[in-house]
Structure 1
Amino acid sequence: MYKRLLVPLDGSHNAYVAMAQAQALAKLTGAEVILLNVVDSDHYGTYARDVNYYDVYRQLADVSADMLKKAANQLHTAGVATQVVVMEGNPKFVIAEEAPKKYNCDLTVIGKSGVNAMERLLTGSTTAYVVRHSLCNVLVVNDDADVAAGGY
C-alpha cells in the first residue's frame, strides 16, 4: 500500500502525534518513514544582523538534526525503517512538493497545526497549504486532546 511516509517535524506536540500515527501505519504496511525538518530560509536571515547567514543556517540545521535523530531512535526502537532529512527552503513548498518528489513519498502524515501561530494567522497554516498542493496523498492527524476540548 504505502512504501514511504513523509513526516514533517517542527518540534510541536501535534507533529509528534502525527509521527506516532505514521509509526503505526508503517508497522502495518512495512513502509519507510522519512522524518523531515525544514530550515526556513525565508526567515532565518532575519534572526540576527551582521552575522554570517551560513553560520545561522548551520546552527539551525544542527538543532534540526538533533531533534530528528531523537525521533528516529524512537522509530528504530519500534522496528520502523527511518531516514532523517534536513532541507532548506520554504517549509510549505518543501513539504508539499520538493520532499515528496525527491524521496518518492506516497503519503505525507502531518499534524493539524505546528509551532508558528503568528504565521498561521498571517499567511495560513502549513498543513492547509500541504493539503492543497501536495504531490502525494496527505493524512492530517488530530491531537485527541484538542478534539476532546472542542478545538479545531
Structure 2
Amino acid sequence: MLQQYKNILVPIDGSFESELAFKKAVAVAERNNASVHLVHVIDTRAFQNVSSFDSTMVEQITEKAKETVKGYVKTAKDSGLENIDYSIEYGAPKAIIATEFPKKLNVDLIMIGATGLNAMERLLIGSVTEYVTRTAACDVLVVRTDLDNKSIKKPK
C-alpha cells in the first residue's frame, strides 16, 4: 500500500528554499488530494534585545508575511489546489514547526526548505530545518531541488 499524505505543513519564511518547498508541496498535495498548511513564524526572540520596542515594527513584519503567504495561497489555488490555508505565528520557529503545529493540525508530512544559513550561522543560531528533521514526530521532507528534481543555485 502506498503512503498517502493528508495534511502537509510548509514553513514559509520568504527564502528561496521555502519557495521550493512550497512548490513541491503543492504538487504532492495535488497527487495525494491533501491539504496544505502554510505557516510563517515571526521569531519574537529577535525583539527581546531591542531597547525601545516598537509595535509598528512587528506590525510591518506581520503585514509583509501576510502578503507573502497570501501570494502563495493564490498561486496554489490558481494551480487547482483548493485545500490550502495559512497562519502567521509568533514565537520560537523550531518549536512551532516541529511540534506545536503538527499536533494541532494532525500533520503527517512537513515539507521544509533546506537551510539558507552558512556554516557559521548554523553554529551560532542553529538551523530550524535541522531541528525539525531531528525532532518532528511525522515525516519530514527537506526540499533541495526544483519540480524536475534538478539542483538549482539560489538567485543572488
Q: Please tell me whether the aligned partners of residues 47 and 53 of structure 2 are also in contact (alpha carbons under 8 angstroms).
A: no
Q: How does 1:87-102 map to 2 (within 5 A)?
A: 87-102=89-104
Aligned match for 2:142, one of 137, 140, 147: 140
**TM-score when normalising by structure 2:** 0.84
**AA paired with 2:75?**
Q
Structure 2 counterpart of 1:18, from 14, 18, 21: 21
Shift of 1:2: 1.1
Cα offsets for 1:123-142 (capped at 9, x unmatched): 32111100011132101111
2:43 corresponds to: 40
User: Matched residues, percent identical?
Assistant: 36
Amino acid across the alignment from 2:152: A
Partners of 2:47 and 2:65 in 1: how far apart? 13
- Aligned-partner SS, 1:140: strand
- Structure 1 stretches of 4+ moved >6 Å: none
Determine which of 108, 125, 138 is the counterpart of 1:106.
108
Unaligned runs of 5+ in 1: 147-152
2:62 counterpart letter in structure 1: A
| 1:6 counterpart SS class | strand
Give the alignment's Cα RMSD to 1 decimal: 1.6
Deviation at residue 51 of structure 1 after TM alignment? 3.0
Unaligned runs of 5+ in 2: 146-150
Distance across 1 between alignment mates of 2:28 and 2:105? 18
2:148 equivalent in structure 1: none
- C-alpha distance in structure 1 between counterparts of 2:137 and 2:62, whole Å: 25
Aligned partner of 1:9 among 2, 8, 12: 12
Superposed, which structure 2 residues align to 1:54-73 within 5 Å?
54-73=55-74
Distance 2:20 2:144 in 1: 8
1:124 to 123, 126, 138: 126
TM-score (normalizing by structure 1): 0.86
